[in-house]
Amino acid sequence: MKRLALLLALVGCVSLAVPASAHNLTRKPKVGVTGDIFKFRGTKWQPNSTVYWEYYGRPRDDNYIQEGSVTTGPRGRFRLLFRDFNLGRHKMCFAQIDTRYRPFAHMSGTAPFGRLFRECKRYRVFGTDF
């Protein structure tokens, strides 16, 4: 009986924490032509908080070309419309600092950053033939 109670308590604690996989990101379209608008939508992110985005010229690049931020609504959703004129494969990454989780904040007397949630989507831009 004690083992069952301990197991149920452990499962309950684990289910309260929001895993990084709970942050959803969709992108439409996956492939476009120069000048197309790519729509990035996020769901299940931390509500009323800032989500930072980074645009990479190529998927394997370490340094981003452009950056910005969007604010999530009360339901943890956001939308970014991005017009791309560069040919090739690209990557857009979104990141959010989880302010609900602050490890060791009570020991240091400060509020260090919490976990970092990061999701990326790749897409491709083709040229137009006129």
Q: What is the pLDDT of residues 41-75, one digit of tens each?
A: 999 999 999 999 999 999 999 999 999 999 999 99
pLDDT of residue 16: 42
Q: Are strands 116-126 and 31-33 parallel, antiparallel or unpaired?
A: parallel
**CA dist 25 → 16, 39, 92 (Å):** 22, 10, 10
**CA dist 44 → 7, 50, 82 (Å):** 27, 13, 21
DSSP letter for 16, please: H
pTM over 0.75: no
pLDDT of residue 126: 94
Give the helix ranges, DSSP H, for the chain.
2-16, 105-108
The hierarchical CATH code for the domain 21-126 is 2.60.40.1930
Q: What is the pLDDT of residues 5-45, one digit of tens each?
A: 444 444 444 444 444 447 899 999 999 999 999 999 999 99
- Sequence ranges of the domains in the chain: 21-126
Q: Are 32 and 126 in contact (CB under 8 A)?
A: yes
